[in-house]
Structure 1
Amino acid sequence: MELGRIGEEFQKIKEYLMLRDPTYYFLVMSFPIAYSKEVPKNAYAMFTGNMILVGDRFFQQSLTAENRAAILMHEVLHAYLGHLERARDLMKMGKAEEAMAFNVAADVVINEKLEAGGFEVPWDMLRAGHVGVSRTAALKMSAEELAAKLSGLSRRQLLKLYRQSSRIAEGERQVSNYVTMNPGSEEIRQARDPGEVRRILERKARRIRSYREPGTSPFGHIRHIADVDRPSLDWRRLLRVELEEAVESLRDLRKRWSRTSRKSEWYPSKVGIGPNAVDIYVLLDTSASIDDEKLRRFASEVYGLLRAGASKVFVIPWDARAYEPVELRRPSDIEKIKKGLRGGGGTIPDEAIKYVLTKAQRRSVVVVLSDFELAETAETRKLFSELAARHKLILVSAGRGSVDYPGTFIKIGD
C-alpha cells in the first residue's frame, strides 16, 4: 500500500467524521491507528488492546470513505464497550466456542447500532439476519444476551460466522511491522490493558457530553466573581495597535491619547476615534472548565480594557450557548458582570461568534477570553475564520499555550 494513498484516504475519513459529529471524530482520533500487512486477509481492521490496525482489505477500491469511517467506529465501539476484555477472559478459561459466539454477537450488535445511527457499514459485515434474529431484536440486546441465543448453532455454523467477524478474541496479538496513520492520544498509547482503554474512553465521552450542554447550575446559571485584580495584559498598548488596524479604512482618525497618569502606570490613557470609536466585543468563556480563579482573571482583563480607555465594550458570556450581552462604558460598569455571569456548562463558542457576526455592522475588535478546551462542532473553525476575516480578533488563553485558530494569540501567564 502506498503511503501517499494511505494519507489521502485517512484525511477523507477524518473529514467525514467531523462533518457527521465531532464526538465520533474525537473518539476515533483518540486511538493510535496504523496500517499493517499482518492484519488477517479476511479482516478490514483489528483492535489490539490500545491500537487499531487496518489491513489491505480496508483500502480496497469498493469501499468508500463512509464505509471506512464505519469500520473504524466499529473497532472503537469494541474498545468502548469492553468487548476485548470479555472475549479474552472466555479464551483464558478455555471456552473457545463461547468466545467465538460472543465475538460474533458483539459484531452484530455494533453493526446494527451503527447502521441505525446512519453509518454506511460494508455490506459483508455481520448483521442480525446472519444469526437469525430481527434487526429490532438485535438493537435491544447486549452482546452477552445475543451470544446466549447463539448457543444452539453448530460448530460449523459458528466457525463460518466467526471467520466473517472482526475476531476480537484474537485481538491481543503483538504486531511490530506497521505504518502509523494517526498517533492517537498519549493516554490511550500508554494504557496498560483494554480495561484502562475502556475507562479512558468513558471519561472522554462524559467530557464531550458535558461540553455540549448549556450550564445547569442553580439560580439561572449564575457565576459569581470575586474581587477584580490588576490585569495581566497591557491593554493600552494592545488597543493602540489593534484599534489603529481596525479603523485604517475609516476617514476620521482623531485619536485622543492622553498622557498616562504620574500616579500609576495603570491609570488609563484615553482611546478614542472621534465619532467613529470602534466597538469591542468580549466573548467571555463561563463554561464549567473555567474555575473561579480563571473567571476572576478574565474579569480583570475586561476591567483592564475599560481602564485603557475603550469607549464601549460588549461582554457576551458563553458556554455551550451564548447568554445575554452586558454593555460596559466605563470602569465602574465592571460591577455589572461582578454581580454574576450565566454559564457553567459545555464549551462551544459557535453561538457567541454568530452573535458578533450578526450584530457588528462594521469592523470591530473581538477579544475571546477562554481556556480553549473547546468541544468543536462542524462549524466552529469556519466561524473563527469568518470572524477573523471581518474583525480584528484577539484570542486570550488562560489554559492552552497555542491554538490553530486565526487571530492574535496571547497566553495569560500562570
Structure 2
Amino acid sequence: MSIRHSRRAGAALRRLSEEDPALGALSLWCAHRDSDERDQAAWTDGRSIFYGPGFEALAPHEQVGLAAHQVLHLALRHGPRAQDMQSRFGDRYDDELFNISCDAILNQTLVEAGHCIPRPAVLLPDLLKAALPEETKTSQWDAEGLYIRLQADSSRSGKGKGDGDGKGRGSDSSENARPDAAEAARQFARQKGFSSDLEPCPGPVEGDEDESPDASDWQDRITRAMEAGRSAGRGIGTLSQKFLDLPQVGLPHWERLLRRLISKALAQVPRPDWGVPARRWLAADSAARAAHGFQPAFQPSRRADCSRARVAIGVDTSTSIDDARLSLFAAQVAGIGRRTGAEVHILAFDTVVSGHTKMQGMSWENEIQRVDFARGGGTDFRPVIQSALEIDPSVIVMLTDLDGPCGPAPKVPVIWAVPQDDVPKPPFGKVISLAR
C-alpha cells in the first residue's frame, strides 16, 4: 500500500529546499509516496519516489541526502534511460551494473555539493579505483558511458588474450589477474551496502528519431533549477555541470545516428523513364490540343530504382573495438538489413580483405555472430574500399579506429564508425563515435 503524498519525507524535503534551491525546485516536479512494499529506505520506478520504513530510521541529514539522491534519479530520467539501455543491449543488459553506475555519479555529485548521504556509499572515484584503476578522471562520465566502459573491460578480460608475458588477462592462474570490471564493480558496491533502488520504466520507442517530450521537459527544469541554485550560491547549482549526469537531449545514441545515415543512403530515388510520359504532361497536352495551343515540353514519368540496395560493412580486425561493442554494432547492422531489405556484405580486413560474407537474411544476429573476425595486424583501408566498390554498394560502413591510409574518396557515401571520441579526421566520409 502506498500513500500519494509522503509523510515520511515531508521534513526532509522542506529542509532540502532550504539547503539546496536547485534540488528543492526539482523535487516539486516529483511524486513522493510512502510505501511498505520494500525494506529499503527509498527507491524509484522512474515516475515516483517511494519512501519505506527504513527512511524514518535515518538521521535527518541522511534523510535529506537520500531524498536528494532519489530526486536526481527522477530528474535525470534514469528509469527511462535504463529501459533504453535494455532495448539497446537486449539479453546482455545488466540492470544492477547500470544502477551502480548511476549511483556512483549521483553520490559523487551530492558529496561535491556538500550533502551528507547514508554511508557507506558507492562514490565514483572509489568505484573507478576498484574496477577501472587505469581511469583517473571523474568528470568525463555519464551513466551510459560508465556502464559501457565497465562492460567493455569485462569482455576484454574474459577473452583470455595474452598480455605479453604469456599469461591471459582472464586466467585465474595469472599472478596479476583481477576480476573483470563489471564483477569488480558489483563486488565493490556490495561491500558498500548497495541495494538496487532504480526500476527501468518505458523510454524512447525503438526507431523513434526524436527525444520524448518528457526528456525535454526535464532538461528545461534542470536548467532553471541550476540557475536558481547558482543565484542562491549553494547546493548543486554551484557545481560545474561536468559533475552532473545530465541527459544528452539532442545528441542521439550512435545506433540512432547510424540508422539515420544508412537509411538516407539507401533511400530509393525515383528516376526518369523517358519511354512513358508523366500524367501531368498527358493532361497538359490534352488541354493544349483542345485549345489548339502549343504542345507542352515532354515530361517523363518517374519510377523507383528496382535494383536492390547494398550495404558494405568493413570490419577492421586489427581495431581495439571490444566484443561488447562489436556485438551491439552487429545487432544494429542486422536491424538495418531487416528493415530496409538491403543486401548486407561483411568484409573483414586489416591490410588486406581476409573474408567476405554475404548475409542471407534468415537469422541476421546469428549470421553476423558466426563471421570470423580474427584479431591482429595493421590497417589499410584502400583494399577493402576497392573490394566494397566491386559489389556496387549504396553505402560503405567502416568499423575501425581510423589508424591507416584511406586512399582516394569513393563515389559512394562512407560512414566511419569508431570506438572512441577523439579520432583523426578522415579525408572523406562521416564519422560517428561508438563511445556512448
TM-score by length of 2: 0.37
